[in-house]
Chain A
Amino acid sequence: MTVENRYDVIVAGAGHNGLTAAAYLARAGMRVLVVEKNDWIGGAAVSRSLHDGWTYSNCSYVCSLLRREIARDLELPKYGLQVIPYEGGASFTRDGDYFAYYSDHNALKREIARHSAKDADAYRGYSQAIMRQCRFIRPFLLRDAPDPASLHPRDLGELAYLVKKAHGLGSRELGETLKFWTMSIGDFLDEHFENDLIKAHLAGSGIIGTGLGVYSPGTSYVLLHHYMGDIDGGIGAWGFARGGMGAISNAIAASFKDHGGTIHTGSGIEKILSKDGRVEGVTLEDGKVIYAPVVASNMDIKRTILHHLDAAELPDDFTKAVRNFKIRGSSAKLNIALDRFPSFPAAPEHTSFLRGDLHVSQSLLELEKAYDDWKVGRWSEKPYIDMLIPSQIDPTMAPTGAHMMTVFVQYAPYDLEVDGVRSAENWDEKQRSAMAETVLDQMSVACPDIRERIVHMEVRSPLEIEREVGLTEGNIFQGELTFDQLFFNRPVPGWSQYSLPVKGLYLCGSSAHPGGGVMGAPGANAARAILRHETRHGRMKGYAA
């Protein structure tokens, strides 16, 4: 498709949020161009074939958070998206046992009771508390975060909505909610459970993608961030996108193109052009200049502001706040092509839980220690790993009989410490494979023959993720999910509603409220803001409106 030199909107970056914003805007009748630096689209929601016959979801790897409203508005099923829930998961012990997390609640209760009768009974109270928090937060995902310092009617309206919601909880539940939001997942689990393995299994979601430990306040919220999604209304359920996570981006892109949108790949944004405080367009890496009165950046806030914009255009305190925005690399990824299904000696025959997320962390303290390693610039000696074999459910991911495995690794620092020096430059081939060995050792707790099964393996340190996807420090959420960077503080106080200090410039990626994950909400919310501010009719249509 030929690229013209003038559009209504240019979206910088073809990640799923950029595409979502673009698709909404195209449907509203705007002429939209999406530009992408890579030769492929999808950002971190991508499927890549790096070894013949196998497909990797080589960044994000499972799906739950994608809002139903967006899937419906953009008709994603029509454009090929199919999400299949996987059921269960497990944590393996070092002495040959396991804790299986079944989605069948009777089986789950019996399995918990196998480890602790008390915990089996306590689980209901735990899941009730989590579900209540999910119900509380979900309505906020597709709304703007109000600016508490503003007297604008929209902010007051959003603030009133928040107050009404909070008031509706009643004083006891409001207290429980405030407590949940401010406590650590470790303390929260300690209040409910006694068994180390069960606590370790449940805690994982509280630290994935963050530079916090299980006992850091605020990690309960991070857990919630992983639970507040759903599949077909089943809150907290996770699944695979058929064809890998790229299927999500591809479906959104197809929906976008079908409504007149254009995607230009292979050349990223060099500079966002502005004049007199107003966006004019962009120059691309290949030198092309394209004009548009509106630019929406799917890049994280730091990249957008510090790398692609003229600092002179911006207020100093804003630039300072952006510089101080915390985007910390804390995770790595292994993608593995397997010749056949690895053996899990501890798992009983015919078990279903191997289709889910598998772990080998033994206790909260082991997870906390993993965090301590990261704090001083090392990958964890015993990292938290989240491994899945989607080819059990999705036949498109690997040749028949062979399998594909995705292994998420927490923690791995961006600035790696080697010989007393902390630097991202230290991530060379030698360090990467040393980290891979550590991870494979961890995996061997569950599947001792893993090394023999490997046909091909891709090892991605935070540095690779940053280089390829463009996420600063390889942070999967485009910014830490801490209180000081959430809701009206995201990405920076005063700029939580997608527009930025340069008129016509918007943020549509995960650096904006409500944050990361393959959710689409920042993209949809940004589209709503753009339509409101930049068009005469002003309103977005659809369930996400």
Chain B
Amino acid sequence: MSQFDAIVIGGGVNGLVAGTLLSRHGKNVCIIEKSNRFGGMASYSVDGGPTLAHSLYNLSPRALSDIGIDPQHPVLSGKPVSTVSLSEDGRHIVFNSEGVFWSEGAKHPESDAWSDLTKQLITYGGLLRQLAEASPPGGQKAILSRGGLNEFLRLAKLGRGLKKLGKSEMRRFLQVVLSNVYDIVLDDLSEGPVAGMLAADAIWGSATGPRSPGTVFNLIYRLGHGGNITQPAGGMSALTDLMVEAAQKAGCVLMPETKVSRIMLHDDTVSGVATNDGRTLTAPIVLSNLAPRLTSRMTGPSAFDIETMRRVRSIRALGTAAKVNLRLKDDAALPGLPSELAHERLIYAPSVEYVEAAFNPAKYRQMSKAPVIEAFKMQTADGANWLSTIVQYASSDIEGGWTQTAKEQLAQITVETLSHALPGLSDQISGKQVITPDQIEGATGAPGGHWHHAEMSLDQLLTLRPANGMARYSMGPKGLFQCGAATHPGGDVMGLAGRNAALAALEARP
């Protein structure tokens, strides 16, 4: 069969959510994926190593239930992990919903300040989530249309949410949301690992440092679903399996290992796609999970206005996070880390200044010599033990490119940095995998290997995401929609971009 109601290009998380949702609304949907597995960054791995994404903290229950997955599904209902900030002196700091503690159990003196600040940011995150669960405001022409009215009601609801905060909190919100994490954190906490932890959580995946205005938004975004971090039972692939299953159950046709060569247009309207192997699939709706630039390559620039193309190519997407997977000899405890913390989320971010300093080299196309790191110790399906780490900043555009030497250097830096707090770690390592942003780009198509497809900076958010004039998922010709992380609200293993896009497509073509 080659005739569909809708075609989704790209079987990452957002593509799966979008396709499944459309299917559940009675559409005959096909999801096309160029690689042999679905799930995008959530399932990409090299030689059976850990996947790119290695934890969940922002998965949208709304997106899940919209595609028929119970948010409480056993795969997803694991206990939240704590965050452990690794310290050189062996007194690691543990962050969890109870507060902040020294690794030996005593309460950290800044526990209350940290909890208060985090709680406040989570409240703001809840407000922003209302915005995230629908198309961004603006752009609707007539307020009296059905869409206009809905939007008005939604904004009114947000307004009510703000009002409920009370006057002074509402004012504070409007200030904090525009601020930089350096200032907000150091206003309430002293410089050190407790502040450093929040600074690090504000910059993952981004080409920005804690001093940059707008970074508090990133932190709030991350805390938008409560801030709990979990690992799916059975690993990330268990989650993507769940999603694939949901798609199939909803009746989606899944086409792995199929490359789309062209999006076909007729009279400024989408008519389907052509594949590399010469097939033509027709549909009046095409949703692209790819970044706008790649999508426009499939239609050709003629399908869009010149200004649109200018904006598309100005979208900033510099991937700065590399994945370094360290294969461990055995399941033994990590040196210097109490065994009960072995499976928590480990980070290396001793201070806010440290995080800022780590960012500096990225501005000049160098890798950080003292990077910020997030690590999970895990076992893959084949029983191998790994320390799965995200290392920042290692940007896609480093001078000289990501040669083998550069990759080895990054692995070396990662091990050395972690060894400050985990002395003797290198003795436990039997192998290394380095997945650099350019490699992530090659594998997943994410521009610059950026895990949000487009930098989450204030000038690329909400109405401006991915670019001015294209925030409401439709793009150029009739029937063409974007559903990827570059669109509102953004990336992470979240699914809202795909969900919102599918709803927008349904609304445009009832």
Verify whether A and B have any Cβ pair under 8 Å: yes
Interface residues of A (CB under 8 A from B): 147-150, 171-172, 174-176, 178-179, 182-183, 187, 191, 212, 215-218, 317, 324, 326, 365, 368-369, 372, 375-376, 482-484, 488-489, 493-494
Q: Scan B169-186; emit 1 where CB is below 8 A from any A CB, else 0.
A: 011101110111001000
A179 contacts B213, C-beta separation under 8 Å: no
CA separation between A545 and B211, bound complex, in Å? 38
A174 contacts B213, C-beta separation under 8 Å: no
CA separation between A216 and B356, bound complex, in Å? 12
CA separation between A375 and B178, bound complex, in Å? 20
Return the chain B residue nearest A496 by Cβ: B171
Task: From known contacts A191-B314, A324-B187, A368-B363, infer whether A171 and B211 are also in contact, taking CB-CB under 8 Å.
Answer: no
A149 contacts B170, C-beta separation under 8 Å: yes
Return the chain A residue nearest B162 by Cβ: A149
CA separation between A149 and B469, bound complex, in Å? 29
CA separation between A218 and B211, bound complex, in Å? 12
B213 contacts A217, C-beta separation under 8 Å: yes
B463 contacts A489, C-beta separation under 8 Å: no
Partner of B138, one of A150, A171, A368: A171
B180 contacts A148, C-beta separation under 8 Å: no
A484 contacts B167, C-beta separation under 8 Å: no
Return the chain A residue nearest B457 by Cβ: A217
Give 6 A-B pairs besides A179-B468, A375-B356 with Cβ atoms closer than 8 angstroms.
A178-B459, A178-B464, A182-B464, A212-B211, A482-B179, A493-B172
A493 contacts B211, C-beta separation under 8 Å: no
Return the chain A residue nearest B169 by Cβ: A149
A/B pair count, beta carbons within 8 Å: 97
CA separation between A218 and B314, bound complex, in Å? 17
Task: From known contacts A365-B363, A368-B363, A375-B356, infer whether A182 and B171 are also in contact, taking CB-CB under 8 Å.
Answer: no
What residues on B are CB-neighbors of A216 within 8 Å? 211-213
What residues on B are CB-neighbors of A191 within 8 Å? 314
Q: Scan B349-374; emit 1 where CB is below 8 A from any A CB, else 0.
A: 00001001100100110000000000
Task: From known contacts A216-B211, A217-B213, A483-B179, infer whether A148 and B459 are also in contact, taking CB-CB under 8 Å.
Answer: no
Most buried by A among B183, B213, B464: B213
Partner of A179, one of B171, B356, B459: B459
Return the chain B residue nearest A484 by Cβ: B179
B360 contacts A372, C-beta separation under 8 Å: yes
Minimal beta-carbon separation of A464 from chain B (angstroms) = 26
Return the chain B residue nearest A324 by Cβ: B187
Task: From known contacts A148-B171, A174-B138, infer whether A484 and B213 are also in contact, taking CB-CB under 8 Å.
Answer: yes
Minimal beta-carbon separation of B134 from chain A (angstroms) = 18
B405 at the interface (CB under 8 A from A): no
A182 contacts B458, C-beta separation under 8 Å: yes
Question: Which of chain B's residues 130-153 have a Cβ closer than 8 Å to chain A?
Answer: 138-139
Most buried by B among A176, A217, A365: A217
A493 contacts B363, C-beta separation under 8 Å: no
Q: Scan B448-472; emit 1 where CB is below 8 A from any A CB, else 0.
A: 0000000001110001100011000
CA separation between A493 and B170, bound complex, in Å? 9
What residues on A are CB-neighbors of B459 within 8 Å? 178-179, 182-183, 187, 217
What residues on A are CB-neighbors of B314 within 8 Å? 191
Lowest 5 CB-CB distances: which A-B pairs, in order? A493-B171, A175-B468, A483-B178, A182-B458, A484-B179
What residues on B are CB-neighbors of A187 within 8 Å? 316, 459
Minimal beta-carbon separation of B215 from chain A (angstroms) = 9
Question: Which of chain B's residues 410-440 have a Cβ closer than 8 Å to chain A?
Answer: none
Return the chain A residue nearest B172 by Cβ: A493
CA separation between A324 and B170, bound complex, in Å? 17
Task: From known contacts A148-B170, A489-B174, infer whether A217 and B212 are also in contact, taking CB-CB under 8 Å.
Answer: yes
What residues on B are CB-neighbors of A365 within 8 Å? 363-364
CA separation between A176 and B468, bound complex, in Å? 7
